[in-house]
Amino acid sequence: MTPQYRTIATGAGWLDVSARGRLRFDGPDAASFLHALVTNDVANVPVGRGVYAALLTPQGRMVTDLRLLRVSEAILAEVPAGLASGLAVRFDHLIFSQKVAVADDSGDTRALCVFGGRAAQVLSDATGVPTTRISELSILDHITHNGLTLIRTDDVTLPNFEIWMPTLQWDSTVAAVIAAGGVDVKPASAAGQGTIFDALRIEAGHPLFGIDMTADTIPLEAGLLDRAISTTKGCYVGQEVIIRILHRGGGRVAKYLIQLVAGLDVTEIPGAGTPVFDQGREVGAVTSAALGPTAGRVVALGYVHRDSAGDGRYVTVGSSLSRWTVQREPAHPLPTADPA
């Protein structure tokens, strides 16, 4: 367990995540418009709650993932860094007779993430919202207070939240978070990669679009069935492919995103694209990796052939002969000793 992790686990860190895009869908048909396009049920999301979803091509490949929040007068969307303007145009081209308008609010708003054992208390002290109200939020539940939108998120296993705000409120909000005890976690990139937050994300097994998911990814390969796909809603773009895989193929795809946990002797962090081998045969590649702050082990996400994706299977990564353990469902805490 690293010193920085101890600090955050017993307190809270904050990270500027403004590079992620924010779209706004206004109009009485906003929910039904999105419901017909994305993989999850949007029509039945009540005000104050949210849903995670994906936008697909007709071939079932991912265009993007989205967090969709239902507010009283609109639906707000968080999208990956660098995609907001293009997605706003794409959605606008899909509007026909529906009473809905889409706008890219990314330039007029900013966002920060607060995460750690005391995240709810720090958020409460910074915003004035009672701690109990924040702590009881379910994933993607949100509160609007004094121009701020407070959202419960699930990027890492520690409690984590986002604050969305108009750009003019950024300085005062950051100052309030710091005064409440939030520790600044400097990002190494616009997507937040290279920080302890990114390492915790990998340790939690949560893929990041543009890194662990791309335009070639079928969401079932990335393990998004339970998180992002409704199997009871009506049609959406790409549904035929998803249903065919689920019903005719038994949910089997050629490859799966898995978590790889290194042995205690591994200290080198593999780069994206490093090959994964199963009994000497190349079966996949790493997409992201980091030193896991919780157990102090190197962990990675990557895709491997379905025959090598069994939980507990041993593989090797790159040229090293050290054993790595496959985990389809990341375990917490990670093992502290090598298996016999």
- Report pLDDT digits (tens) over 18-51: 999 999 999 999 999 999 999 999 999 999 999 9
pLDDT digits (tens, 9 = 90+) for 212-222: 999 999 999 99
From CA 63, how far away is CA 56, in angstroms rounded?
Answer: 5
- Chain-centroid distance, C-alpha 24: 19
pLDDT digits (tens, 9 = 90+) for 253-304: 999 999 999 998 999 999 999 999 999 999 999 999 999 998 889 999 999 9
From CA 43, how far away is CA 51, in angstroms rounded?
Answer: 10
Specify the CATH architecture of the domain 254-327: Beta Barrel (2.40)
From CA 273, how far away is CA 214, in angstroms rounded?
Answer: 13
Which residues make up the CATH 2.40.30.110 domain(s) of the chain? 254-327
In 3D space, the residue among 182, 163, 140, 147 whose CA is nearest the CA of residue 42 turns out to be 140
Q: Give the global pTM.
A: 0.92
What is the DSSP code (8-state) at residue 308?
G
Superfamily of domain 1-185: Probable tRNA modification gtpase trme; domain 1 (3.30.1360.120)
Token pair recorded at residue 289? 């990796």
Which residues make up the CATH 3.30.1360.120 domain(s) of the chain? 1-185
- Chain-centroid distance, C-alpha 144: 22
Residue 280 vs residues 261, 265, 269, 315, 319: alpha-carbon distances, Å? 18, 20, 20, 9, 10
Strand partners of residue 67:
52, 78
* 7: Cβ contacts below 8 Å, ≥ 6 apart: 13, 183
